């Protein structure tokens, strides 16, 4: 449950989980910016865990760690290590990190793209009719790997073979982002969305 208040009305309301409309990098609050979250209440399961190991490089990282029966802590450590290997320390190199959401497309569109790009990576979603495509792969295929525009650009971190990194801040990022979005849409028919 979340307690929220509308800035103008100063009214406090309690919302349950379904009213929050949580989704992939989305929620009710993302579309109602006039709301302020005052507090949250979480109910955690201590005994039953539905561990999702088939996403990204989690399985590969657990294999490197020589872990066959992972715990929640093992998965957390694996995810932290993966992110640290793909994103530079912002204290050393200023960056906006991973900029775009991984797009989710219909299975029919995915099959057509997979025929054209057989090595395209993908991930299943909770819906069998929808497939998640890595934004970094689309950006790289669109020719933006290592491309710089003024003080911003997408650059591949030497420790990663897939992740595209965004550098600097300001209006140049917006202009660069629009160029990337237009080219990816032209090539793949997929609309990238900033996080």
pLDDT-derived band at 106 (thresholds 50, 70, 90) equals: very high
Shared domain check, 52 and 34? no
Over residues 11-64, the pLDDT tens digits come to 888 888 899 998 877 899 888 888 888 888 888 777 777 787 777 788 889 999
Shared domain check, 128 and 144? yes
Q: What is the pTM of this model?
A: 0.64
pLDDT of 154 reads 63
Find, among 131, 109, 106, the residue nearest to 121 by Cα: 131
Q: Nearest 5 degrees, angle CA 146-CA 194-CA 172?
A: 55
- Domain span at residue 148 reads 95-188
Taking the C-alpha atoms of residue 159 and residue 132, their distance in angstroms, rounded to an integer, is: 23
Taking the C-alpha atoms of residue 9 and residue 82, their distance in angstroms, rounded to an integer, is: 43
Residue 194 lies in a domain: no
Asked if 170 contacts 152 with a C-beta cutoff of 8 angstroms, the reply is yes
Shared domain check, 109 and 145? yes
Residue 58 lies in a domain: yes
């Amino acid at each position: 449950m979340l307690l929220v208040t509308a800035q103008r009305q100063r009214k406090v309301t309690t919302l349950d989980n379904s009213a929050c409309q949580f989704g992939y990098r989305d929620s009710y609050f993302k579309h109602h910016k006039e709301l302020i979250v005052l507090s949250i209440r979480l109910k955690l399961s201590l005994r039953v865990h539905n561990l999702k190991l088939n996403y990204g490089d989690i399985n590969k990282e657990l294999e490197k760690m020589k872990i066959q029966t992972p715990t929640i802590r093992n998965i957390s450590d694996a995810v932290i290590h993966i992110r640290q290997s793909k994103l530079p320390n912002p204290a050393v190199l200023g960056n906006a990190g991973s900029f775009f959401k991984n797009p989710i497309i219909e299975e029919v569109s995915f099959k057509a793209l997979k025929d054209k790009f057989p090595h395209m990576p993908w991930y299943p979603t909770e819906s069998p009719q929808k497939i998640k495509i890595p934004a970094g792969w689309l950006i790289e295929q669109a020719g933006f790997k290592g491309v710089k525009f003024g003080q911003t650009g997408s650059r591949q971190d030497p420790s990663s073979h897939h992740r595209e990194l965004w550098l600097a801040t300001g209006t140049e990022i917006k202009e660069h982002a629009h160029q990337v979005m237009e080219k990816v849409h032209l090539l793949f028919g997929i609309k990238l969305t900033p996080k």
